[in-house]
Chain A
């Protein structure tokens, strides 16, 4: 009985991975053939980019602040509080900026994509679109994926900048350290490989967020309850995948650009 259950679950998992791979591949390659729906791309860019800016900005600012708070206590034991700026900027740009932005946007947008497309599936709007001769993959999924990739890139830059600013605010106003020193260290310590690492990751995260959100939305079954289920699956799986892929990308980029 237990073996049957494991077998069924394993088969289901393999099937889901296969379906997702085909779905994500098709959604991506659609961009290189006609028809393309640029107005949808712009609308989605506005929803994802401008709509998520405030939460990304705040989470970036306070994460930078927390990093400065936590590190100052430890660094002061070694008389190295001067490198707080270096610590905050490298951590934000290489790791926390991309990952936190990815998870924040996954919570906001993977869920909204899954619920929006899921509702369209259960009310037959997706079938109606197909019946009207329009490909929902091209019209709904591909614009969301490319909007999410491009917007996450810029949102990560915003999170990094506000993270460093938050760290600076804590350094100056709470730790009563030297502000110019903090910012000059933050700037001087950065190398191009750090920037590359920080800006490559959101490209993967953006792709994961939109493709997972749309995938679960488009395979919704079971009415309104099914929409809720799809939304949860989309957020959970997108968040886990972002962290997993972040690990893999970090490993590859560290091999390509070894730390000095």
Chain B
């Protein structure tokens, strides 16, 4: 039986008052698969991510999210579909007028879930990102790394069927970046949630490929020499085109001059 991809792009193109930002993009994300989207800054990685959950509409081509065609779907019908996917924005995009509790519980509050249950689930989500102590404070009091971790907790609160990470480690110091990548890995290995992760940091991408999360040790551990996570694969964008789609091995041995230059 054919496995339905969680996300599928078919010949997708989009432009904003000028040359195309993305042109003829096709790829898919299968169940439990993590796709790492690489590329230089400004190449359209965030645009691609916003297309995946219908925040932007393509000019041509089709996008399937959970098996449903969303490129022409009315916004009202997209809202329930989006609640099944979590998204972590570049700078966190936390609501600065709400406390961390209300940010993480945003969807639950809208769904009028009882307060006791909200508190319990928010604490669970914050425990996952190791930020329980921030429960009642405002985002303005958090550091950049803490904001991203709260954003991850917000994306995870309803146990999404897909996760979209937009440069979750961008602009962070190496130690905080590793903490964030460990959380991404934990979600991948503990809950098997499929995801698309945008980054221009090769180190983060390789760490995700060469490590796994050990639930007993509660930290990431390196896979044996020569092994990589089979469900973590790569996409690379260059000048509006998808120039690579494959495994870490394929990426490292690619003959494409841009891929080679990017890796070096």
Residues of A within 8 A of B (CB): 35, 123-125, 127-135
Interface range for B: 20 to 34
Q: In the complex the two chains form, is B89's CB within 8 Å of A132's CB?
A: no
Of the listed residues A35, A123, A133, A135, the one surrounded by the most CB atoms of chain B closer than 10 A to its CB is A133
Distance A129 CA – B85 CA, assembled complex (angstroms): 13
A137 (CB) vs chain B CBs: closest residue: B75
B67-107 interface with A by 8 A CB criterion: 75-76, 79-80, 82-83, 85, 87, 89-91, 93-96, 106-107
A127 and B55 contacting across the interface, CB-CB below 8 Å: yes
- Closest Cβ of chain A to B217, distance in Å, is 33
Q: A134 — which chain B residues lie within 8 A by C-beta?
A: 79, 106-107, 110
Majority secondary structure, B binding face: mixed
Residue of A nearest to B166 (CB): A124
Known: A127-B50, A127-B55, A128-B95. A133 touches B83 (CB 8 A): yes
Instruction: Tell me whether B53 is interfacial, beta carbon within 8 Å.
Output: yes
CA distance A130 to B53 in the complex (A): 10
Give B195 Cβ to nearest chain A Cβ, in Å.
14
Q: Are B95 and A125 in contact (CB under 8 A)?
A: yes
B79 touches A135 (CB 8 A): yes
Which residues from 110 to 156 on chain B have a C-beta closer than 8 Å to any C-beta of chain A?
110, 154
The minimal Cβ–Cβ distance linking B147 to chain A, given in whole angstroms, is 11
Q: B82: which of A123, A125, A131 is its contact (CB, 8 Å)?
A: A131
* B55 in complex: contacting residue of A35, A125, A130, A135, CB < 8 Å: A130
Which residue in chain B gives the minimum CB-CB distance to A139?
Answer: B110
Q: Chain A residues with Cβ under 8 A from B85's Cβ?
A: 131
Whether B82 pairs with A124 at a CB distance below 8 angstroms is no
Residues of B near A133 (CB, < 8 A) are 79-80, 82-83, 107, 110
CB proximity of A10 to chain B, nearest CB, Å: 18
Which of chain A's residues have a CB closer than 8 A to the CB of B75?
135
- 8 shortest A-B CB distances, which residue pairs? A133-B83, A128-B93, A124-B93, A131-B87, A133-B79, A133-B82, A124-B89, A132-B107
Q: Are B107 and A128 in contact (CB under 8 A)?
A: no
Are B106 and A132 in touch, CB under 8 angstroms?
yes
Residues of A within 8 A of B83 (CB): 132-133
Residue among A123, A129, A130, A131 making CB contact with B91, cutoff 8 Å: A123
